[in-house]
A = this chain, B = another copy of it.
Amino acid sequence: MKSYSKNQLSRYPVYLRVLQHLQKEGVSYVTSKALSKEVGNSEEQVKKDLAAVSLSNGMPGRGREVASLIDDLETFLGYRESTKAVLIGVGRLGQALLDYPGFRETGLSIVGAFDSDPEKIGSNIGGLKVLPAKDIATLLPPLKAKIAILCIPAAQAQEACEEAVKAGCIGIWNFAPVPLDVGDSAIAENVNLASSLAVLKHRMKSILKEE
């Protein structure tokens, strides 16, 4: 299997978003140079990244066809196949994820939701009946979800992670602000919004200096 770095993989959804935006604006062809300006990476990197996932070479001067690049990226990212996931924790963040428009297109299909709040259990949130978190061991396996999305407080995250892995999940998408130990039979990806904020704040310094 060809291997891609974490950074390279992270760039593909960004290319895709820009390309979808261009397509909406009626743009049919795009050069690597134009794309590199939109995403803020070097032209060299854009060329290399696209060559790794797309066979279309584009025409000199005109560039690559936007529609076929979108096609190639969606295929590469697995957006065309549905991946079953469960949401563990349906507080504000969990509900926001169910709503998130940039999210539906990724192919992630949320087939179950768990929470420990008695007021939420049994209620219908985003089309899903909320199931009791204490019964993950028995109620998760029949859902055949491969990904568990953790939107719970840090103190509960490790336990929920272990239960989800035991119940058949091999991917943990962790929004709880704590590192997790998932063992060797699963993968955890931590979402740390503070990382994105750190980049923004640091880059703002250059503007503050000019003022």
Which residues does A use to contact B, with CB under 8 Å? 1, 4, 6-7, 9-14, 16-18, 21, 38-39, 77-78, 83, 91-93, 95-97, 99-103, 105-106, 108, 146-147, 153-154, 170-171, 173, 177-179, 185-187, 189-209
Number of copies of chain A assembled together:
2
Interface pair A91/B101, CB less than 8 Å apart: no
Q: Once bound together, how far apart are the Cα atoms of A148 and B7, in whole Å?
A: 26
Interface pair B170/A204, CB less than 8 Å apart: yes
Interface pair B92/A208, CB less than 8 Å apart: no
Known A92-B99, A178-B21; contact A173-B187, beta-carbon cutoff 8 A: no
Known A178-B17, A185-B207; contact A101-B201, beta-carbon cutoff 8 A: no
Q: Once bound together, how far apart are the Cα atoms of A211 and B111, in whole Å?
A: 22
User: A189 contacts which chain B residues (CB < 8 A)?
Assistant: 196-197, 199-200, 203
Interface pair B173/A196, CB less than 8 Å apart: yes
Of the candidates B13, B153, B198, B209, the one whose C-beta lies within 8 Å of that of A194 is B13
Q: How far is the CB of A98 from chain B (nearest CB, A)?
A: 8
11 further contact pairs, Cβ within 8 A, besides A101-B153, A101-B154: A10-B196, A14-B190, A21-B178, A83-B201, A106-B194, A106-B197, A170-B207, A171-B200, A185-B207, A187-B203, A187-B206
Q: How far is the CB of A3 from chain B (nearest CB, A)?
A: 9
User: A206 contacts which chain B residues (CB < 8 A)?
Assistant: 1, 187
User: A186 contacts which chain B residues (CB < 8 A)?
Assistant: 207
Q: List 28 A-B contacts (CB under 8 A).
A: A1-B206, A6-B199, A9-B202, A11-B195, A12-B195, A13-B197, A17-B177, A18-B179, A21-B179, A77-B194, A100-B177, A100-B193, A102-B154, A102-B177, A102-B193, A103-B193, A105-B194, A106-B194, A146-B204, A147-B200, A147-B201, A173-B200, A185-B207, A186-B207, A187-B207, A189-B197, A189-B199, A191-B196
Interface pair A101/B177, CB less than 8 Å apart: yes
Of the candidates B7, B77, B187, the one whose C-beta lies within 8 Å of that of A7 is B7
